[in-house]
Chains A and B, each alone.
Chain A
Amino acid sequence: MQEHARTRIPANHVQPVRERWIRRSLLIATGISAGAILFIFVLLVYFCLPLVNSGGMSSVLSWQWKPFGGEFGILPMCAGSLFLSVFALGLAFPAAIGICGFATVLAPRSVARSTLVMVHFMTSIPTVIYGFASVFLLVPLVRDWFSTGTGFSFLTAGLSLSLLILPTIVLVFHARLQQIDPALRLAAEAMGLTPVRQFLHVLVPAASKGLVVAAILGFGRAIGDTLISLMLAGNAPRIPDSLFDSIRTLTAHIALVLATDSQSMSYRSVFASGLILFLLMGAVNFLIRRLDRGPGENRYENGH
Chain B
Amino acid sequence: MKTATDLLLTAYAWFCAIAVFLATSLLLGFLLKRGMGVIHPRLFFGDTPWFPALLGTKPVFEGIWPALVGTLALVLVSSVMAIPLGIASGIYLSEYASARVRSMLGFAVDVLSGTPSIVMGLFGFTMILFLRKTALPQARPSLFLAAGCITLLILPYVIRTTQTALEAIPEHIRLLGPSLGLTHWHHVRHVLLPSASRGILSGAILAIGRASEDTAVIMLTGVVARAGLPASLWDKFEALPFRIYTLAAEHRSVQELDQGFGMALVLLLMTGSLFAVASFLQRSLEKRWKTT
Contacts and interface: CB of A to CB of B under 8 A. Distances in A.
B264 to A, nearest CB: 5
Contacts of A7: 171, 174-175, 178
A258 B123 CA distance: 12
A83 interface: no
Contact of A98 (B16, B31, B105, B185): B16
Contacts of B247: 132
**A contacts with B: majority SS:** helix
Interface stretch (B1-9, B51-59, B60-68): B1-9
Interface string A260-290: 0000000000110010011001101100110
Interface string B103-136: 0010111111011111111110111011000000
Contact of B115 (A43, A133, A163, A278): A278
Give the interface centre of B1, B27, B214 by most chain A CB atoms within 10 Å. Answer: B27
Contact of B112 (A9, A29, A36, A195): A36
A30 B122 contact: no
B80 interface: no
B231 interface: no
B183 A231 contact: no
A284 B111 CA distance: 9
Given A163-B23, A277-B116, A30 B88 contact: yes
A274 B216 CA distance: 13
A128 B24 contact: no
Nearest to B279: A120
Interface stretch (A20-28, A71-79, A237-245, A295-303): A20-28
A33 interface: yes
Nearest to A92: B20
Contacts of B20: 95, 99, 118-119, 122, 163, 166
Given A120-B279, A132-B245, A227 B126 contact: no
A166 B264 CA distance: 21
B275 interface: yes
A22 B241 CA distance: 39
Interface string B207-248: 001001111100110000000000000000000010011011
Given A37-B111, A107-B17, A225-B116, A9 B26 contact: no
Interface in A96-145: 96, 98-99, 101-103, 106-107, 115, 117-133, 135-137
Contact of B13 (A12, A106, A130, A255): A106
Contact of A132 (B125, B127, B244): B244
Nearest to B21: A118
Contact of A19 (B91, B111, B123, B185): B185
B289 interface: no
A26 B279 contact: no
Given A118-B21, A132-B260, A4 B92 contact: no
A14 B247 CA distance: 63
Give the interface centre of B13, B127, B241 by most chain A CB atoms within 10 Å. Answer: B13
A40 B123 contact: yes
Given A98-B12, A137-B27, A258 B125 contact: yes
Given A9-B177, A25-B88, A271-B122, A4 B167 contact: yes
B274 interface: yes
Given A22-B185, A101-B9, A118-B21, A40 B16 contact: no
Nearest to B25: A118
A259 interface: yes
A281 to B, nearest CB: 4
Contact of A124 (B122, B209, B248): B209
A40 B109 contact: no
A227 B10 CA distance: 35
A26 B92 contact: yes
Nearest to B175: A7
A227 B96 contact: no
B123 A226 contact: no
B107 A255 contact: no
A44 interface: yes
A85 to B, nearest CB: 12
Contact of B89 (A33, A38, A115): A33
A186 interface: no
Nearest to B2: A194
Given A30-B93, A33-B89, A196-B6, A281 B31 contact: no
B4 to A, nearest CB: 11
Nearest to A133: B27
A13 to B, nearest CB: 12
Given A33-B112, A95-B16, A194-B6, A274 B85 contact: no
9 contacts: A30-B89, A33-B159, A118-B20, A122-B24, A133-B30, A200-B9, A254-B121, A278-B119, A281-B114
Interface of A: 3-7, 9-10, 12, 16, 18-19, 22-23, 25-27, 29-30, 32-38, 40, 43-44, 46-47, 94-96, 98-99, 101-103, 106-107, 115, 117-133, 135-137, 163, 166, 194-197, 200, 220, 223-227, 230-231, 251, 254-255, 258-259, 270-271, 274, 277-278, 281-282, 284-285, 288-289
